[in-house]
Structure 1
């Protein structure tokens, strides 16, 4: 299993505006190999707010298929910030994607 974490830097005070974009299920939830999505809002930041969008996948191939899919391209139509200038009112300052191997998970004991 792998976990993909997209760390999104957001203008201070606009974190709820960006987090709301993830509140409804979208196409990622329909892909083979998709396990779980979590949206985390970092607490106690000073200069900028931070959201981490964490998706868990059965394997790298499933994650890669989702990333390369037409649905993903459409959802991210705004493109790379280096290719297109950011809109003046865009609250997103930047993003960084990392992937991790899930080494171990502990779940509550079943009773």
Structure 2
């Protein structure tokens, strides 16, 4: 069963293009991680002003292994702030 992790990001209006450029620059940086199945950056359009970073993982252990080896950003370089993490299991529906 796959897992979906959604990181909720607050991004000041003037930093949105910078956030998108940074994600574009590292779009495939997680592709080779064990258990990683995909990612999408969701831009707010209506009814929400936060970005969502949706990632899909084969299992919790794969996500945790990737998360635990990430290098923290240098102070003062962030263009967003995390507003939390949403977590879901993908329901395999029978045919």
* TM-score using structure 2 length: 0.77
Instruction: Verify the 8 A CA contact 2:7 2:82 in the aligned structure 1.
Output: no
- Alpha carbons of 1:93 and 1:64: their partners in 2 closer, same or farther (altered >3 Å)? closer
**CA separation in 2, counterparts of 1:57 and 1:90?**
25
Give the corresponding residue for 1:77: 73
Spell out, residue by residue over 1:2-31, the C-alpha distance to the aligned partner (whole angstroms, 9 max, x if none): 001011011124322212211133532211
Instruction: Verify the 8 A CA contact 1:11 1:93 in the aligned structure 2.
Output: no
Give the corresponding residue for 1:62: 62
Report the aligned-residue RMSD: 2.4
- Using the TM superposition, give the Cα deviation of residue 33 of structure 1 relative to its aligned residue in structure 2, in angstroms: 0.5
Aligned residues: 91
- Alpha carbons of 1:27 and 1:90: their partners in 2 closer, same or farther (altered >3 Å)? closer
- Using the TM superposition, give the Cα deviation of residue 103 of structure 1 relative to its aligned residue in structure 2, in angstroms: 1.3
**CA separation in 1, counterparts of 2:78 and 2:29?**
23
**CA separation in 1, counterparts of 2:52 and 2:43?**
7
Give the corresponding residue for 1:16: 17
Give the corresponding residue for 1:3: 4
Determine which structure has greater relative contact order: mean sequence separation of CA pairs < 8 Å that are 6+ residues apart, divided by chain length. 2
Write out aligned runs for 1:38-53 (5 A): 38-44=40-46, 49-53=49-53
Structure number with greater Rg is: 1
